[in-house]
Homo-oligomer: A and B are copies of this chain.
């Protein structure tokens, strides 16, 4: 089974128990709407690729960790899209959850996804219970205060936003959790697993810079969500803050550093190849956006 199919199967398995008889059906539907159809699923793929590179020994455990990380990402999107934050009307090419189901069910869908992620870790760890503590703290660190995605979002309510801390918390932290969590799932001890943090962080930061460039350059139809939001909402954006040339340079530096930082492991080469392919896809998207942006700057004829 390919990695994408493993991710989708793990997510469906995670959501299934929620729909027992006696559960409120509209909330269940809002949760499904928040997770499917698939976005890029880059975080769970990173998690599974690291677990595969380390040599998985407990079937299903890495799938659970990958699903948990993606559920956390989906939770953050649903809440970030709310009217009190980004007021986004679309997400992944469909109406955002609050637009499709109303604000109360969107708040609850996010809460449910956060809770479910930890339950999924516990379920998946049944065959390797001594790994659960490190998995919960790894995912918790990527999500919560002081440095996780909730902290990243929290910076948007401060009088000034420190760009590097913000970017690392809002995006990097969950990528770190995906990489470290993948290693823990495959049996790495705490020290070995922490060696993966740098890889996750650099991939995450490169991804955020590419996303910033897309926010500045693309159009909403190709991105599947509103664009130009950072400027509209007064948030740090690498492409606007550094300029397009410098942010492209930073992106390439981060990618090189990420691949060099992959720890020694049985599947190092496969993982480097996968990371190179992902980066190539990101580059292509950015180039398309740049050429569209350049076109948009031409006077209409």
Contacts and interface: CB of A to CB of B under 8 A. Distances in A.
Contact of A17 (B25, B31, B103, B146): B146
A297 B149 CA distance: 52
Contact of A136 (B25, B103, B132, B156): B132
Contact of A133 (B114, B126, B148): B126
Contacts of A116: 140, 144-145
Contact of A123 (B20, B101, B102, B137): B137
Contacts of A114: 111, 114-115
Nearest to A125: B133
A90 interface: no
A151 B119 contact: no
Nearest to A76: B111
Contacts of A155: 24
Q: How many copies does the complex hold?
A: 2
Contacts of A121: 136
Contact of A144 (B102, B115, B123): B115
By size class, the interface of chain A is: 35 or more
B104 A165 contact: no
A207 interface: no
Contacts of A84: 102-104, 107
Nearest to A130: B129
A137 B132 CA distance: 12
Given A17-B146, A19-B146, A107 B133 contact: no
A145 B105 contact: no
A22 B146 contact: yes
B26 A154 contact: yes
A147 B18 CA distance: 9
Given A20-B146, A108-B150, A132-B136, 7 more contacts: A24-B145, A25-B158, A26-B157, A26-B158, A104-B153, A114-B114, A121-B136
The 10 closest A-B pairs by CB, nearest first: A23-B146, A27-B154, A119-B140, A24-B154, A115-B144, A122-B136, A84-B103, A18-B145, A20-B146, A118-B118
